[in-house]
Amino acid sequence: MHREEKTEKARETQKNPRTSQSRWQLLLIALLAAAVLAHGSGGKQGAIERAQAEAAELRLQRDSLASEIEVRDEERAALLRDRAAYEAQAAALRRSVAELERRRAEQQLTVREIRTTGALMDRLRASFPEFGDSAWGLATVPLEPGDTLGMEYLMAPAWFAETFVIDHANAQSWRAQKDALMAVDSLRLAVTALQDSITRLTEATAVAYRAGYESAYERYTMLSERYVRELRKPRIRLGTALGFILGAGTGIIAVELIR
């Protein structure tokens, strides 16, 4: 019985070869539609993975850059604290120089105000203690014959004079050094002010670049997310593909029936 049915079906297929051909056409259409869907899905998945990988790499670079900037900012803050301490010390030394100059002027005025020879000799011995008390003497020398008042002269060993010459030369040198150092300090203050201006400009440029980078990163992130969302949208929908397959199959069957 089964052999007869199979023989009958084979005869029908031989009598009507178009039916077999239409079946192969339907199968071919289904395979093509499945291949198109698989190719489109696979290509979009690869693009999605590449976009996500690029976004992750950029995020990693941004985090690394942010960490490095944070470390640099901490180092800069520490250097600024050290600079503030050094500037405070420099200001204190500058005030001490001004105080020393004020005391020198006061002491010079007190010397000018000495009125007695005894007080002047005491001040001289205090200023040159290395000479001792016996090294100094006073002598009255008449200005002219018959002068009973005369003028008092300081008596000291002749070679003591070299001390006065050396001290005078040292005073001149130290005064010149002081003036030069004050000029250097003024120039250093001017250079520091210029460096501060350059630093502020550099910081403003860095802030502008940072803001631009952050804005570009945010825009790139938004565009990447939008791009991934667009890729996730199917270009060939499953319903459309099935409708296409069913429509094609129905058309082929209708043609076969008409024939």
- pLDDT one digit per residue (tens) for the chain, 259 residues: 445 544 555 454 444 445 555 554 555 555 455 544 444 555 577 777 787 788 788 788 888 888 888 888 888 889 889 989 999 998 999 899 899 999 989 988 998 999 888 898 888 888 888 887 777 888 888 888 888 888 888 888 888 888 889 999 999 999 999 899 989 999 999 998 998 898 888 888 888 888 887 888 788 788 777 777 777 776 555 455 555 555 555 545 544 545 5
Report the C-alpha gap between 232 and 46 in whole angstroms: 11
| pTM, full prediction | 0.54
Residues with Cβ < 8 Å from 227, sequence gap 6 or more? Answer: 51
The dihedral built from the CA positions of residue 145, 147, 148 and 154, taken in this order, carries a sign that is negative
E strand segments, 135-180: 137-141, 151-155
155: left (phi over 0), alpha (psi -120 to 50) or beta: beta
* CA 3 to chain centroid: 90
Three-state secondary structure call for residue 153: strand
